Amino acid sequence: MDELDWVRVRELEVAVRIWHPDAPRTLVAWHGLARHGGDFAAFARTLGPDWRVLAPDTPGRGLSSWSLYPEHDYLYAHYMTIAATVLDHFGLERVPWVGTSMGGLLRVRLAADPITADRIDRLVLNDVGPELDPDGLADLAGYFGVPHRFSRFSELAAELRRHYAGFGIEDQAAWRRLALESARRLPDGSWTYHYDPRIGEQFVHDTPRDTWADWQAIRCPLMVVRGADSPLLRAETIEAMRRAQPELVSLEAPGCGHAPMLDRPEQVWPIADFLGRPRHRQLPGTAEGAPTWWQRGLRWLKGDGTG
């Protein structure tokens, strides 16, 4: 990251990681359940210097405060308050949002809520939607609902590679960075993950919600990225999402499960194209036509002279 800022929400301090702080355009990127804003480093660099990327660490994760009252603070309702406070802190009236997993569902609620809907310019969901596979969701809740302890750092790194295989990370340096940015040493010298182990209580305390009603209420341009092997977001769910929102743009990321890391051109360029289109123009993917600039670029990278 290029800068780090802090936003106070009651007794909690929220860290906001910033890339390209002087860029002319801004977007907010929000991470998944047990991750942090640092996951968007490669995304921000690939997106380029025209975009200031603000990536908060949700309380209980990364560099942000841990809550003394998880049953009140580790909930979507409180995350919505934090998101609005982040916007106010940076003087942002209306911005595009990219959200991975939990961060995407938070965006759906913000975009569907009459109080905050006008602050969402457009929305990109990364491997999440209004309906998630119950078995995959149960596995997620079970894994993050219990503390994890490792005697050696190498054991933590190996477990990260196993559990986060769905990120689709391809190079060894990226796996090393992920391990370094995900680890926390305990007083006895053992290792655990960076996050508060009580974040899993969200699955217990959060109020059930009609997420399909939220989805249908959204009035901003929408895009969804799905890992081709995702255990959470089914391909048929994408089609149901499109029936409710006919101009939905979708992208499938091969070799990824839950959730694509958004760390390579073939994932980032289509998002950049979506973000850069005026709201009144037809959105990509809603009609056949000439290949976009990112499709031509991918053909060139693959050595296909037809691009």
- Model confidence at 197: pLDDT above 80: yes
pLDDT at position 280: 55
- Model confidence at 174: pLDDT above 50: yes
Phi, psi torsion values for 20, nearest 5 degrees: 55, 60
Nearest to 178 by CA among 199, 197, 200, 156: 156
State pLDDT tens for residues 252-291: 999 999 999 999 999 999 999 999 988 753 343 343 344 5
State pLDDT tens for residues 116-162: 999 999 999 999 999 999 999 889 888 988 899 999 999 999 999 99
pTM over 0.75: yes
pLDDT at position 294: 53
How would DSSP label each residue in 176-244?
HHHHHHHEEE-TTS-EEESS-GGGGGHHHHSPP--HHHHHHH--S-EEEEEETT-SSS-HHHHHHHHHH
* Distance between CA atoms of residues 42 and 265, nearest Å: 10
Domains and CATH numbers, the chain: 3-132+209-301 (3.40.50.1820)
State pLDDT tens for residues 85-127: 999 999 999 999 999 999 999 989 999 999 999 999 999 999 9
State pLDDT tens for residues 237-256: 999 999 999 999 999 999 99
